[in-house]
């Protein structure tokens, strides 16, 4: 067996052909269903390639709100599909792999947020979009990594309860003139990126600038030249004069960065930060979802309406 062969005896070329054939079927049935495929920047490259739109949580929420498709296929994680349900009632929202959750979103629950409110009278709740619909339903505003600072700034209270990411909360707290009380949650993928890993990557690529996601720990953000949402990273790479970048976020981000700035070089810290949930969605799963219109994500109407308030207040800020 050569290194071009897999253990089950298929050549890599055959497997690629399979992918191409599946992608062709996906695009055909997508038109028949009047479906739109929304894809997060961390998804597998072949899934990004079949998307109508690839982006960060904010961009994806905006697309979900404005689409006139009948079916939204969400290639991302559960809270993203829920946000699409919140914004687009009446549409079928498919999450091709129902096990694709977000451990950080699961760290916060609505009763806990209500308790936090009771302990901090007069404070308003800003929940990161990485939350369940139930948590959004007991929040005043929603935000994403792209707009967390302006949203917290705009909230009409001097104290803000920020749920669930303590790292994003600390990043915001240094940039606003308010008290920020943080929920004690975090993203395991970003929490595991250490300053030493980033310094080692910098030593291997001395000319590189560091781009980091604000879900990283403060000690990692201190080493960053640019702190951006995933789509913001594309702008940072394009606008910078640097030719090389160490990218402190989930490794899937290297694919859209390479497409956006083909002449530049992007490196992950080692070991590569991986979000296993983001990698669960495959081309075959997308095809199966379009064929069967399952699995669907739904949000009970009462929860949806209350959660919509928080999401709409965010979107209204522009
Ligand atoms: P973005 O909104 O920046 O794409 O981040 C989403 C996410 O889950 C990062 O881990
Ligand atoms: Fe959640 Fe982190 Fe995965 Fe983003 S990278 S979906 S925050 S676990």
Instruction: With respect to residue 216, please indicate whether it lies within any of the assigned structural domains.
Output: yes
- Residue where a domain stops, chosen among 144, 161, 184: 184
Same domain? 97 vs 109: no
Do 156 and 201 have their domain in common? no
pLDDT-based confidence at residue 4 (cuts at 50, 70, 90): very low
Is there a domain that residue 218 lies in? yes
Is the domain of 96 the same as that of 110? no
**170 and 200 both lie in a single domain:** no
Cα 189 to ligand 2 centroid, rounded to whole Å:
7
Q: What are phi and psi of 128, to 5 degrees?
A: -60, 150
In the block, residue with structure tokens 């915001």: 172
Shortest-distance ligand to the CA of residue 214: 1
Predicted TM-score of the model (pTM): 0.93
- Residues 170-184: pLDDT tens digits? 999 999 999 999 999
What domain range is 54 assigned to? Answer: 3-101+278-299
Task: Select from 39, 40, 61, 280 the residue to mutate for testing ligand 1; criterion: most ligand atoms less than 8 Å from CB.
Answer: 40
Task: Summarize pLDDT for 115-157 with one digit per residue, the tens.
Answer: 999 999 999 999 999 999 999 999 999 999 999 999 999 999 9
Ligand 1, CB within 6 Å, residue ranges: 41, 56-57, 130, 144-145, 187, 213, 215, 229-230
pLDDT band with cut points at 50, 70 and 90 for residue 306:
very high
Ligand 1 centroid, distance to 229 Cα (angstroms) = 6
* pLDDT 10s digits, 10-49: 666 655 558 999 999 999 999 999 999 999 999 999 999 9
Furthest-apart CA pair in the chain: how many Å? 67
Considering the domain architecture, whether residues 25 and 90 belong to the same structural domain is answered as yes
Q: Specify if 273 maps to a domain.
A: no
Q: 4-8, 59-63, 267-271: lowest mean pLDDT where?
A: 4-8
Question: Domain total for the chain?
Answer: 3
In a domain, 310, yes or no: no
Q: What is the CATH number of the domain that holds 172?
A: 3.40.50.10800
Please state, rounded to an integer, the average pLDDT across all residues of the chain.
95
């Amino acid at each position: 067996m050569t290194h071009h062969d897999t253990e089950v005896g298929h050549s890599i070329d055959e497997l690629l052909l399979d992918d191409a054939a599946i992608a062709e079927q996906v695009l055909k049935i997508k038109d028949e269903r009047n479906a739109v495929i929304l894809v997060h920047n961390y998804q597998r490259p072949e899934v990004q390639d079949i998307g109508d739109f690839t982006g960060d949580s904010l961009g994806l929420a905006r697309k979900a709100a404005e689409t006139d498709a009948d079916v939204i296929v969400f290639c991302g994680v559960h809270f993203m599909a829920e946000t699409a349900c919140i914004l687009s009632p009446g549409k079928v929202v498919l999450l091709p792999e129902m096990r694709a959750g977000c451990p950080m979103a699961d760290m916060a629950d609505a009763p806990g947020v209500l308790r936090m409110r009771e302990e901090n009278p007069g404070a308003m709740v800003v929940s990161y979009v990485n939350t369940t619909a139930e948590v959004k339903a007991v929040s005043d505003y929603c935000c994403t990594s792209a707009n967390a600072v302006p949203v917290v700034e705009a909230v009409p209270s001097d104290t803000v309860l920020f749920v669930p990411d303590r790292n994003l909360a600390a990043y915001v707290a240094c940039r606003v003139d308010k008290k920020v009380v943080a929920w004690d949650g975090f993203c395991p993928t970003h929490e595991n990126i250490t300053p030493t890993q980033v310094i080692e990557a910098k030593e291997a690529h001395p000319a590189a600038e560091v781009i980091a996601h604000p879900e990283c720990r403060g000690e990692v953000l201190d080493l960053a030249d640019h702190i951006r949402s995933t789509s913001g990273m594309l702008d940072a790479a394009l606008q910078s004069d640097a030719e090389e970048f160490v990218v402190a976020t989930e490794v899937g981000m290297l694919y859209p960065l390479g497409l956006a700035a083909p002449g530049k070089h992007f490196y992950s810290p080692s070991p590569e930060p991986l979000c296993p949930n983001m990698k669960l969605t495959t081309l075959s799963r997308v095809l199966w979802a379009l064929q069967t219109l399952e699995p669907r994500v739904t949000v009970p109407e009462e929860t949806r309406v209350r959660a919509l308030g928080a999401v709409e207040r965010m979107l209204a800020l522009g």
